[in-house]
Structure 1
Amino acid sequence: MAILIRTITYLNVVIFLNLSSFSFIEEPITHIFPPIYEGLGLPELSNYVEMNFIFTFTMGKKQYNGSGIVRKLIKSKELKIILNKIQGIGPVKENILKNLLIAEVEPLLPPIMNNKQRKNITVYHQDFTRQKD
């Protein structure tokens, strides 16, 4: 897949990214927050399913290996990919790679999300700040 990026108005750069392999390495884990946090409207305090994955891609003639986490919010359609740092990949190429990975992951999610026998991990938050006298 060739992706055209405009960095400067008179300079166009073509980056060739090809996803060679993609696989989930662990079972999906459901993080469930207490209902008091759900009503706050904060995505980081909403129930989500998390899956670790590894992938291989080529950019130009060089091959890279990477890993990351896919987070799918249960109540909304939002999908977030968190990549571990890859040597030689900057923020622009990382965003392109995330979009490529999202296109690869989205068709795989419906069977995983409909599986009721996922591992459930309950996440609780507590405020440990010191009480003022």
Structure 2
Amino acid sequence: MNIISIWFTDPPVYHQFPPIYENLGLPEVSSFIDQRFEFVYTSGKTERTGRGSIRLYKKHGDFKVIIPEKLPGFGPVRLEKLKSMLLERVKADFIQNMESEPPERKIYYTDFRRKARDTD
């Protein structure tokens, strides 16, 4: 397994969650910065293209690579190894993109709880 090239397809996107969710400590509902990328890799003698994204969870400072689609010939162990290889290669460029580009795209998540009904 070898990564041949990586390039970003979108600018960084800032995902903001309400403070009520931030205090739960769950990464799924914590604010993060996300940027999508594509990469060319070899698996055996075959050269293929894959898509993924890198996330920085603001509160915890953790980085995570997400590959949304299944890659042929990759089980859980090889997929984790690929993610760690991608993280090493893309992390520095991602940080540079966050610092150099102004925050153009922001996505806000809001609280949609039902209001209490009056029982008169």
Q: TM-score normalised by the shorter chain: which range applies?
A: 0.7 to 0.9
SS in 2 for 1:100: helix
Query: How much does 1:95 deviate?
Result: 1.0
Q: What TM-score, normalized by structure 1, do the two folds share?
A: 0.75
> Is 2:74 aligned against 1:89?
yes
In structure 2, what is the equivalent of residue 12 of structure 1?
none
Higher relative contact order (CA 8 A, sep 6+): 2
Query: How much does 1:115 deviate?
Result: 4.4
> Is 2:75 aligned against 1:104?
no
Runs of 4+ in 1 over 6 A off after TM superposition: none
Change (3 A) 1:41 1:124: same
**Structure 2 residues not aligned, in runs of 5+:** none
Aligned Cα RMSD in Å? Answer: 2.0
1:120 corresponds, among 87, 90, 106, to: 106
Query: How much does 1:69 deviate?
Result: 1.8
Aligned counterparts, 1:47-86, within 5 A: 47-83=31-67, 84-86=69-71
SS in 2 for 1:52: strand
The one-letter code matched in structure 2 to 1:104 is: R
Contact 2:54/2:64, CA 8 A, preserved across alignment? yes
Q: How many matched pairs? A: 114
1:37 corresponds, among 5, 21, 24, to: 21
The one-letter code matched in structure 2 to 1:102 is: L
The one-letter code matched in structure 2 to 1:117 is: P
Q: What TM-score, normalized by structure 2, do the two folds share?
A: 0.83
The one-letter code matched in structure 2 to 1:53 is: F
SS in 1 for 2:33: strand
Name the structure with the higher strand share. Answer: 1
